[in-house]
Every structure is written in structure tokens, then in C-alpha cells.
Amino acid sequence: MNDPNRPLREPLIQNQVTEPPTQQQQHVFIFANGVTRSVSRRDETISCTPDWIWGEVQKQVRIAGPMVFVALLQYLLIVVSVMFVGHLGELELASASIASSFAGVTGNSLIIGMASALETLCGQAYGAKQYHMLGIYMQRAWFVLYLVCIPVSLVWWHMDSLLIYLGQNTEISMLAGVYARYMLPSAFGIATLHPLVKFLQTQSLVVPMALFSGATTLLHIPLCYFLIFKSGLEYRGAAIATGISIWVNVLFLGLYVRFSSTCKRTWTTFSREAFNDLWTFVKLAIPSAVMICLEYWSFEGLVLLSGLLVNPQLETSTLSICLTSLALLFMIPFGIGAAASTRVGNELGAGRPQAAKGAVVIAVTMGVTEGLLMGTILYTGRNVWGIAFTNEPEVIEYVARCVPLLAFMHIMDSIQGVLSGVARGCGWQAFGAAANLGAYYIVGLPSAIILAFVYNYKGRGLWFGMILGIITQTLTLSIMTCCTNWQKQAEDALLRVYSSTAATLPVQSNHKLKHVAASAQHLLKDGDGDDPT
């Protein structure tokens, strides 16, 4: 491995042009950090061959499948904890549920959203063969997210007071506050876990994550039972068990990264370079968090609005069933979106804009296919879907009326989930945040309020409004993707990677950095680069 800290002994960029005895013209660029990049003229039709298409489909499926499993198991940690608490009584269940929901709004979504910036940084660095930067980016993420956990912890510590101020039941709020205090280790665990997940995901090392997530979930079930029912901790044991399980998962992944030969190039050791150029991470992390939080918060707002309808018990129960179904089904397009993010980021970092464009087409095709398939299954089983959640005939009948809307929403959700993954792979988080702001808070929620309360469509009006929001989001992301100059995106990816690398190297002047940028742009003009895999 090249030593990124060695003194500069050669010109910043050496351009060697060779003419091999083939029709391909090859250019070799040697950067100051010792990374050699070769670029050749390639037949652009290669992206249209059946072999290339099948190969790309296989790459994305190998990432998407395990990532669906990982997302589902991480979601189940919270669900299992709340399910166990439900056997203690209605008060404990209500307290744990509201504490988990409030923690998701005020902390978890923020931390997970900020960690998503690594999909851009690590994905493109891996494609550019700047392997050592993945470990540095992950350490930067840890440092920034631990700082974010400090104000999050203060909010959780005073959750009872905040809930009472917001008009919630005093007894429920007090128990929720206690539950939240025992959840504090979970916040720091999530801040450690998700950078590890992105670090491995961008290298397509997803099978170990799936295995360790499965092992953690299997451990979590007996741990919950013991801490809740046998230790005397009761509902507090669920929060403690969740924190322990998250940290066990961190331990598993950390040991894998430290001792696995597959991570030797990307994880060397802890480095002081992680504290340099923090803005590289922060300027992507903030819009990443905004992008995810705006969407997450809008659906939480939907639950609050349902409580204001004429029959709040029926409306809230039905909406909760539909939202739970939507969240579970979204794990599939989330996995495809993660695959799209990884493949697009890798190819852009490698200087292969046409391959990145092809990966987008395949990912979107997979997303549309999945959405239509699952939407059809939902619609076909609309009359029995509610039976899986409740025995109340009134709720089952109302769910059956809402499922067609849910099916259509999942189709849109599948497309936007994949396109959001593409946005993260390209580094479009700021645009994605603006798109979500407009889609959900200018179109979605206002439309939901008008349809539900003014036109008296009740709960279905809330769904109609959010469907308008998600259609707006999907159209906006689709237009952005269709109008993208992929050559420019690949240039931007190289500029991002090499400017960040230069910031941790003994580059002495901005003049030299401009040469790196110029070479990165010139590097792409004659064709696609080498496949990082």
C-alpha cells in the first residue's frame, strides 16, 4: 500500500501516454499520493450488452439482498423491545412507544441521516482506489456524530418535561422520560454502528453485516426477556437491552473490520488525519440528515394529524397499520437504493460515467419491477391484510379501503427509494433535501390537511395528500436524474476524492491542487476508467 504521508519527490502529476498494439488508447496518470490511474477509450456499447447488464444486475442483487436483511433486523430491535413491554401493560406500552417515536424524531433519524454522507464519500473514494480514505472518513463521521449525540442526549434526558409541555399525558410522559434516559447508550451506539455499516456497504461487504445483524437479533430476544421479566427492571430493561444489542453489533462489525483481510486496504489504524478537513464530511452530512429527517418527520406528523379526526381511535389504528406495512415493505427498495448508491458512487469515483449511468438504469428498473410486484400483491390481498394486525372487524374493513392507496404509494416509494440512493451515491444531498422539503411540506402535508379536514375525506384524505407529496418527490428526483451530465458527475467525484486526499497530504499550495483538479477533468475526456472491482 502506498504511504500517503511520504514526502513529495516527483512532480505532482506525470502524464504518460502509451500506444498499445490495440485500438484502445490508454492514458496513465500518477498523482502525488502515489495512486496511478489509467484511462482507456472503451467501446461505449459495452454497457448495452447482455453480459454487462446481467453482470451489473448480479452486483446490485448481491448488495441489495443482504442490505434488506440488515435494515429489517435493525428495525426489529426496536419492534421486539416494544412488543415485550406491551406484555407489562397499556401504560408501559404507551410510554415505550412514545419514547421510541420521540427518540426517532429527535435523534436517531438525525444521526442515521448524517452517517449517510459516507455513501458519497466512501463510495467514490473506493472507486477511485483511495482505499485508505475510507477509514479516515469513517473516523471523521464518528467524531462529528459523537458531538451531535451530546445535544441529542440532553433532549432525551429532559424528554418527560418536553412531552408534558407538548400536552401529553403526565403519567405516560414521566415513564417515557425514564425509558429515554436508559436509551442514551443507544444514541452513541447508533452513531458508531451506522458509519461502520456505510464503510462496509460501499465496499460491497454486506454479507458479514447480514450475518452479524441476524446474530444480534437472536441475542436480543432472550436478552429482552431476561431484563424485562427476570431482572426486576421491567420496561426499563427493554431500553437497556436495545442499547446492549446495538453495541454487540458494533463489536461484531468492529472485530470484522480489524481482523478481516478484506478490510486491510481500507482500515489501517486510527489516524489524526481524521480531524483534518472535517468540513468535507459536515457539508454533506447536514443535507443528508435534512433529506432523511424531512421525509421521516412528515410521516410522524401524519400520525399526529390522525388523532385530530372525528374517530381518532379508528383512524390512528388504521394509519398505524398502514404505516407499519409501508415501513416494512420499504426495506426492499431501501436495499435496492443502497445497491444503487454503492454502484454509482464506485463507478463515478473510478471515472466511469457511462457505467454509472447504466447502473442507475438497472437500479431504477429493479425498483419499478419490485414496486409493481409488491403493489399487486398488496391490492390482491387487501381484504385480508388487516387480519395480520388486528381482530377488530371495523379496523379490518377500513384497512381494506386504504390498502389500494398504500399499494400505489409503495410503487412510488420504490422508485423514489432507488432514486434517493442514486442521489446519495452522486452527492446530491442538498438537492434531495430541497426536493423533500417541497414535496412533503409544500405539497404533501398541506394537501393532506385540506383533503382530510376541509373536504372531509378523513384518514383517506391524509393518504391522498401524502401520495401527492411522494409523487412530487419522485418526479423531482426523476427529472434531476434524467437531466444529469454523467461526465460532469464523474469529474465532480474525482475532484471531491482527490481534493480531500490532498488535504491530508503535504500539498503545499492551492496551485498544486488545481493541477490535480485539472488532471481529474482531463482524465475523463477520453473514455471510461478501470473497473474498481
Please state the domain extents for the chain. Answer: 65-275
Instruction: Tell me what pLDDT residue 42 has.
Output: 43
Cα(7)–Cα(15) distance, rounded to whole angstroms?
20
Identify the segments of the chain with pLDDT beneath 50: 1-36, 38-46, 502-510, 512-513, 524, 526-528
- Contact status, residue 447 vs residue 301, Cβ threshold 8 Å: no
pLDDT given at position 519: 58
- The count of C-alpha atoms lying within 13 angstroms of the C-alpha of 354, restricted to the half-sphere facing its C-beta, is 17
Phi and psi (nearest 5°) for 457? Answer: -85, -5
What's 444's DSSP letter? I
Please enumerate in sequence order all residues whose Cβ is within 8 A of that of 41, keeping only pairs 6 or more positions apart, or say none: 23, 24, 25, 26, 526, 527
Non-local (6+) Cβ contacts of 154 within 8 A are none
d(CA 117, CA 110): 12
Q: Is 18 helix (H, G, I), strand (E, B) or coil?
A: strand
In single-letter form, the type of residue at position 59 comes to K
Q: All 3 cell numbers of residue 173?
A: 410522559
- Residue 307: CA count within 13 A, CB half-sphere: 5
DSSP secondary structure code for residue 27 in this structure: E
SS3 state at 508: coil
Q: What is the DSSP letter of 390?
A: -
SS3 36: strand
Say which residue the cell 473514494 belongs to: 125
Distance of alpha carbon 5 from alpha carbon 204, whole angstroms: 27
**Burial class of residue 167 (count of CB atoms within 10 Å of its CB; 0-12, 13-18, 19+):** exposed
Grid coordinates of 390:
388486528
Nearest to 141 by CA among 285, 37, 318: 285
CA 304 to chain centre: 25
| Separation of alpha carbons 126 and 497, rounded Å | 9
- Measured in whole angstroms, the distance separating CA 442 from the mean position of its chain's CA atoms is 24
Helix/strand/coil (H/E/C) assignment for every residue in 384-440: HHHHHCCCCHHHHHHHHHHHHHHHHHHHHHHHHHHHHHHHHHHCCHHHHHHHHHHHH
**Phi, psi of 514, deg, nearest 5:** -65, -35
Per the structure block, which three cell numbers stand in for 360?
442507475
Question: What is the radius of gyration, based on Cα positions, of the chain?
Answer: 24
pLDDT of residue 522: 57
Strand order in the sheet with 14-18: 14-18, 26-30, 36-40
pLDDT in tens, 40-55: 334 344 456 888 899 9
Which of 33, 198, 189 shows the shortest CA–CA distance to 117? 198
In 3D, which of 313, 463, 325, 457 has the Cα closest to residue 382? Answer: 325
Specify the pLDDT at position 458. Answer: 86
Q: Over the stretch 78-122, which tens digit does the pLDDT of each residue have?
A: 889 988 998 888 888 888 888 998 999 999 999 999 999 999 999
* 299: number of Cβ within 10 Å: 16
With contact defined as beta carbons under 8 Å apart, do 199 and 122 qualify? yes
SS3 269: coil
Rounded CA-CA distance 350/356 in Å is 10
**Contact present, 371 and 414 (Cβ < 8 Å):** yes
Instruction: Please check whether residue 187 is in contact with residue 111, taking contact to mean a CB–CB distance below 8 angstroms.
Output: yes
d(CA 383, CA 379): 9
Q: Which three cell numbers stand for residue 412?
A: 412510488
HEC states along 248-290? HHHHHHHHHHHHCHHHCCCCCCCCHHHHCCHHHHHHHHHHHHH
- Whether 246 and 193 have beta carbons less than 8 Å apart is answered as yes
SS3 assignment, position 374: helix
d(CA 141, CA 138): 5
